[in-house]
Structure formats: structure tokens, C-alpha cells
Structure 1
Amino acid sequence: MRFLHTADWQLGKPFGRFEPEVRAALGEARFDAIDRIGEVAAANQVEHVIVAGDIFDTEGPEDRVIVQAVSRMQRYPCRWWLLPGNHDYARNGGLWDRVRGKASDNIILLTEPVAQEMEAGVWLLPAPLLHRHHLDDPTELFDSMETPGAKLRIGLAHGSIRDFTARGETKNQIAPDRAKRSNLDYLALGDWHGTLKVDPRTWYAGTPETDGFQRDEPGHALMIELAPGVEPKVEPVRTGRFQWLLRDWALQDTAAFSAECDVLLSAIDPAATLLRLSLAGITGLADRVEILSRLEDDLRHRLRFLDVRAADLVGRPGEQDLADLKVEGLLGIAAEKLTETIAAGGTEAILARRAMERLFVEYHRGSQA
């Protein structure tokens, strides 16, 4: 049997720290990922997609979020098996009743811990979260779930097999050896937002559309092939559009900056890239000004989003820089005093460096007028 394992769609995620244009693009990409999953299923004649929790970002999404999710899934003939997670946990009169009122027959809501026969002899054992946090292992119920005539047993759960710090939940703890304990052929997990192999029968699919600066790769779903008594075949399939990249560049001059830019741009789709860039090193003052100018005037406009951290990129005025400023009389006096303050170090040196850079920029701006 083959099926797709996905999780952590978090539809309706607000992305509030970004400008409206970026927020809109990131939000729409999460719905588009449903289409990519459906297209992969259709192209490979896969009849089942199991979603391991956090389909929605909150338990109270807007109606548009629900309708978009349902309508996207309805476009494809596969069956969608949806498990409530900690963001969209199941409760009476809540989100899942709203979804049920709009869903078609090919969308199955797993709001109760009851085994479901997906195909003859193939059983899906769901562990829906009924609260945001469970003190007990939500998968313990797998041991007592009846699966008569089972050829394959597939567990579906949302939680942590270890502490994932900032990205995972310390609650809803799942035994790392749950697949072995409960005689599962495969355990499909959600909560961790990157693809992660726990053991040959236990995987996190990760989010289908990356949503943070943690890893280079875009989002994936997992194509799973199961047969009795054989280890699962697991193939990651790209579903994500956007990449969220973290880069640290150590620079000495504009030539080093240009080389780093060339390497970056040759490896990415700029319009689908969000970049958090940290700069460090000691350059000439003119080089630092040019580097920051090119970031603002060129690279920022190429990328979907750019966040620059340049506090550790130090620009020291060279002899020619000072010579140019000294020509201007009072500017030269100011430059000399700032240079002395920078050389002395301490907290005032930080402000002096910024003032020197501002002085240099304004001098060149005035000379070009």
C-alpha cells in the first residue's frame, strides 16, 4: 500500500511580523501546498493522504480558511484523513464541527481515538488531541485498539518524541519506541516542522510549506510504501514553494560581498526566498557603506524578504577616507575626533562608528549633488 504522510499545514497562520504583501504570499502558499499534495497523489495514483495534526493554525479560524481548505481537498479524488493536533484540538462544538458541516465524503475527520479500516486489512489508528496539552502519551491507546484481520497497522499522532525546544511541544510526549510497542508498521507523526526520521517505522513529515528560519530545505510530504513484514519505503516529495535561509557572511571588502551574492543567487529562486543575513568582519568604511547600499538597493528588491544583521560588520575609515573629509575643514575635525573615540573602544566607540559612517555618507552625498 502507498499513501502520503503530511502534517502541520497550520492554515490561517498570520505571519504578523511581515509587511502585508509578504504576509499574503506566505498565507496563500500554505493553501497552495494542499494542491501540490493532491497533485502528487493524483500523479502517483495514491488514494490516501494522512495529515498528522495542526491542519489549522488555531481552533477558531475564519470561515474563509475552512472553506479554502475543504475546497482545495475536494479537487482531488484521494481520501484525506485529518487528525486534530495541539493548535486545532478537537472539542465539542468547536472547529471540527464547522469543518464537518462543509466537508465532502473524501474528507475524514479523525476526532475520536477509534481505529479506521482504510482498505481491506489496512487499519489507521488515530490519536487525536482533545486538549492543547495532554499529560499522558496520547498514543498509549493504540495498544487497546481493535484491528481485526489487520495486514497493516498505521499509527497517526501529533506530539513530541523528545524536547524540540522552540519548535516542538514538551507536552503530548510520545514514546520513541511506540511503533514497536504497539506493533505498528508505520507511525506518522506531526509537530516537528522538518522532515525527521525517528526510526525506520517512525517519521515526522514536517510542514509542507516552511514557516521559519531554521532550515534551508523547503517543505515536504512523505510518500510511504508499506508491505507486511518489510521496512517502509519513505520518499520525501517537495511540496513547499518558499525557502527561509539563514546565512552568516564574514567580509573583508566589497569583492567578498559580491562573491557571496553570486553564490547565493545562483542557488535559489530569489522571489521565493526569505533571507536572514548576518554580516561580520572588518572592512574599509567606504566598503561597508557600499555593501549596505547594495543590500538595500538591489538584493532586498530581488528577494521576497531580507533581514540584515550588520552590527558586527565594522567599517574603519582608511587614509583616503580621512583625507577626503579633512578637505572639508569642520568635517575633518569631526572625523579626527570620531576616529580617536573609535580607537579608544568602549560603548562610545559604537556610536562613534555609526556617526563616522553617517558623516562619510553625507559627505559623498553632498559631493555628488
Structure 2
Amino acid sequence: MKFLHSADWQLGKPYGRFEPDVRSALSEARFDAIDALGKAGLEHGVGHVVVAGDIFDTEGPPDRTIVQAVSRMLRYPLKWWLLPGNHDFARNGGLWDRVRQRAGKGIVILSEAAPHEIETGVWLLPAPLVHRHNLEDPTEQFDSMETPGATLRIGLAHGSIRDFGSQGETKNQIAPDRARRSNLDYLALGDWHGVLKVDGRTWYAGTPETDRFQRDEPGSALLVDLEAGREPTVTPLRTGRFQWVLRDWLVNDRAVFDAECARLLASIDPSATLVQLTLAGITGLSDRVSMLRHLEDDLAHRLRYLDVRSDDLVGRPGDEDLAALAVEGVLGAAAAKLNARIDGAGPDAAIAKRALERLFVEYSREDRA
């Protein structure tokens, strides 16, 4: 049997840190990921998509979010199995009752811990969350779930495998050997936003549309090929549109900076990439100003989003910079005093460094105008 394993759609995520145009594009991409899943399902001949929690970002999304999600799933002749997670946990009169009112036969909401025979001899064992944080392992109940005539047992849960430490949820913890304990052929997990193999039968699918600067990979889902008596064959499939990349550049002159820019642009689709860039190094002040100006006036407009962190890129004025300021009378005198304080390495050196840089930046802007 083959099926798709997905998780952590978090539809309706607000992306409040971004400008409206970026926020809108990122929000729409999360709905488009449903279409990517549907198309992948048809391409690979699967009949089922199991979604391991956090389909919605909150337990109270607006109607449009629900209608968009349901209508996109129903475009495809697949069975969608939706598990409540910690962001969209199951409760009476809540979100999932609203979804049921709009869902067709192709969508099954797994709000109760009851096994489902999804194909002959193939049982799906869900562990829905009924609270945002659960103190117990939500998968312990798999041990007592009866699956008569089972040839394959698939667990579906949302939570953190123990040993994640501070990087995972502190609640909703799942035993790392749950697949073995509960005689599962595959355990499909959600909560971790990247693809992660825990063991041969236990996987996190990650989010289908990346939503943070943690890893370079775009969003994905897992194509799972199961057969009794052998370890699953698991293949990641790209589903995400946007790529979120972290870059740290050590630049000591403009030539190195230009090479890094060219390397970055050659490796990505700029309009579908968000970049968090940290610059470090010691360079001439005029080079520093020109590099930051290039990022602001050129690279930022090519990319979907650019966040530049340049506190560790130190700019010192060279002889030519000081000579240019020296002819400006009062500006030249101020620059000389600030440079002397920097050379003195006293308690005011850091402040003097920033003041001299600002002086040169403003002078450069005035000169360019």
C-alpha cells in the first residue's frame, strides 16, 4: 500500500512580522500546498493522505480558511484523514464541528481515538489531541486498539519524541519506540516542521510549506510504500513554493561580497526565497556603506524578503574616506576626533565607531544627492 504522510499545514498562520504583500503570498502558499499534495497523490497512484495534526493554526479560524481548505481537498479523488493537533485540538462545539458541516465523504476527521480500516486489512490508529497540552503520551492507547485481520497497522499522532530536549514541545511527548511497542508498521508523526526519520518505521513529515528560518529545504510530504514484513520505503516529495534560507557571510572587501551575492542568486529562485543574512568582517567604511546600499537597493528587490543583520560587519574609514571628510571643515574635525577615540580603544570606542560610520553614511548620502 502507498499513501502520503503530511502534517503541520497551519492554515491561517498570520505571519505578522512581514509587510502585507509578503504576508499575503505566504498565507496563500499554505493553501496551494494542499493542491500540491493532491497532485502528488494522483501522480504516484495513492488513495489516501494522512495529516498528522495542526491542519489549522488556531482552533478558531475564519470561515474562509475552512472553506478554502475543504474545497481544495475535495478537488482530488483522494481520502483525506485529518488528525487534530495541539494548535487545532478536538473539543465539542469547536473547530472540527464547523469543518464537518462543510466536508464531503472524501474528508475524515479523526477526533476520536478509534481505529479505522481504510483498506482491507489496513488499519489507521489515530491519537487526536483533545487539549493543547497533554501530560500523557497520546499514543499509549495504540496498545489496546483492536485491529482484527490486520496486515498493516499505521499509527497517526502529533507530538514530540522524547529526547528532542528544548527543540520540541514540552508536552504531548511520545515514546521514541512507540512503533515497536504497539506493533505498528508505520508511525506518521506531526509537530516537527522538517522531515525527520526517528527510526525505520517512525517519521515526521514536516510542514508542506516552510514557515521559518531553520532549514534551507522547502516544504515537503512523504510518500510511504508499505508491505507486511518489510521496512517502509519513504520518499520525500517537494510540495512547498517558498524557500527560507539562512546565510552567514564573512566579508572583508567588496569583491568577496559580490561573489557571495552571485553564488546566492545562482542557487535559488529569488522571487520564491526569503533570506536572513548575517554579515561579519572588518572592511573599509566606504565598502561597508556600498555593500549595505546594494543589499537595500538591489538584492532586497529581487528576493521575496530580506532580513540583514550587519552589527558584526565593522567599517573603518580609510585614508581616502578621511581625506574626503577633511575638506568639509567641521565634518572633518569631527571625524578626526572620533577616529582618535576609536584608536584609543577606551570605553567610548564602540560609540565613536558607530558615530563615525553614521557621519560617513550621511556625508555619502549628501554627496550622492
* Uncovered stretches (5+) of structure 1, i.e. residues with no partner: none
Amino acid at match of 2:97: D
Q: Percent identity?
A: 71
Residue aligned with 1:114, SS: coil
Question: Over residues 215-236 of structure 1, what are the superposed CA-to-partner deviations in whole Å (9 max), with x where a residue is unaligned?
Answer: 0000110000000001000000
Question: Over residues 230-263 of structure 1, what are the superposed CA-to-partner deviations in whole Å (9 max), with x where a residue is unaligned?
Answer: 1000000000111111111011011110000011
Residue aligned with 1:38, SS: helix
The 8 Å contact of residues 121 and 151 in structure 1, kept in 2 or not, is answered as: yes
Q: In structure 1, what is the Cα distance between the partners aligned to 2:71 and 2:338?
A: 63
In the TM superposition, what are the counterparts of 1:301-340 in structure 2 within 5 Å?
301-340=301-340
Amino acid at match of 1:336: A
The 8 Å contact of residues 162 and 170 in structure 1, kept in 2 or not, is answered as: no
Aligned counterpart, 1:290: 290
Deviation at 1:356, TM superposition (A): 1.6
Amino acid at match of 2:14: P
Amino acid at match of 1:202: T
Residue aligned with 2:160, SS: coil
Aligned counterpart, 1:300: 300
Distance change >3 Å, CA 367–CA 27, structure 1 → 2: closer
Deviation at 1:165, TM superposition (A): 5.6
Aligned counterpart, 1:363: 363
Distance change >3 Å, CA 46–CA 314, structure 1 → 2: same
Q: In structure 2, what is the Cα distance between the partners aligned to 1:41 and 1:224?
A: 11
The 8 Å contact of residues 271 and 302 in structure 1, kept in 2 or not, is answered as: yes
Deviation at 1:153, TM superposition (A): 0.3
Q: In structure 1, what is the Cα distance between the partners aligned to 2:17 and 2:362?
A: 31
Residue aligned with 2:4, SS: strand
Deviation at 1:344, TM superposition (A): 2.7
Q: In structure 1, what is the Cα distance between the partners aligned to 2:338 and 2:15?
A: 41
Deviation at 1:350, TM superposition (A): 2.8
Amino acid at match of 1:48: H
Aligned counterpart, 2:184: 184
The 8 Å contact of residues 122 and 150 in structure 1, kept in 2 or not, is answered as: yes
Deviation at 1:44, TM superposition (A): 1.5
Residue aligned with 2:59, SS: coil
Deviation at 1:357, TM superposition (A): 2.0
* Uncovered stretches (5+) of structure 2, i.e. residues with no partner: none
Aligned length in residues: 369
Aligned counterpart, 1:45: 45
In the TM superposition, what are the counterparts of 1:76-95 in structure 2 within 5 Å?
76-95=76-95
The 8 Å contact of residues 164 and 192 in structure 1, kept in 2 or not, is answered as: no
The 8 Å contact of residues 163 and 169 in structure 1, kept in 2 or not, is answered as: no
Q: In structure 2, what is the Cα distance between the partners aligned to 1:7 and 1:163?
A: 21
Aligned counterpart, 1:104: 104
Aligned counterpart, 1:274: 274
Aligned counterpart, 1:264: 264
Query: Is 1:229 matched with 2:229?
Result: yes
Amino acid at match of 1:36: A
Deviation at 1:326, TM superposition (A): 1.1
Aligned counterpart, 1:149: 149
Residue aligned with 1:249, SS: strand
Aligned counterpart, 1:73: 73
Amino acid at match of 2:131: H
Distance change >3 Å, CA 77–CA 284, structure 1 → 2: same
Q: In structure 2, what is the Cα distance between the partners aligned to 1:202 and 1:365?
A: 57
Deviation at 1:167, TM superposition (A): 5.3
In the TM superposition, what are the counterparts of 1:120-131 in structure 2 within 5 Å?
120-131=120-131
In the TM superposition, what are the counterparts of 1:212-223 in structure 2 within 5 Å?
212-223=212-223
Normalised by the length of structure 2, the TM-score is 0.98
Deviation at 1:166, TM superposition (A): 6.2
Q: In structure 2, what is the Cα distance between the partners aligned to 1:88 and 1:347?
A: 52
Amino acid at match of 1:100: R
Q: In structure 2, what is the Cα distance between the partners aligned to 1:160 and 1:38?
A: 27
Amino acid at match of 1:206: G
Amino acid at match of 2:99: V
Residue aligned with 1:271, SS: helix
Q: In structure 2, what is the Cα distance between the partners aligned to 1:299 and 1:177?
A: 47
Amino acid at match of 2:85: G
Deviation at 1:353, TM superposition (A): 2.1
Distance change >3 Å, CA 99–CA 285, structure 1 → 2: same
The 8 Å contact of residues 163 and 170 in structure 1, kept in 2 or not, is answered as: no
Give the alignment's Cα RMSD to 1 decimal.
1.2
Residue aligned with 1:105, SS: coil
The 8 Å contact of residues 167 and 193 in structure 1, kept in 2 or not, is answered as: no
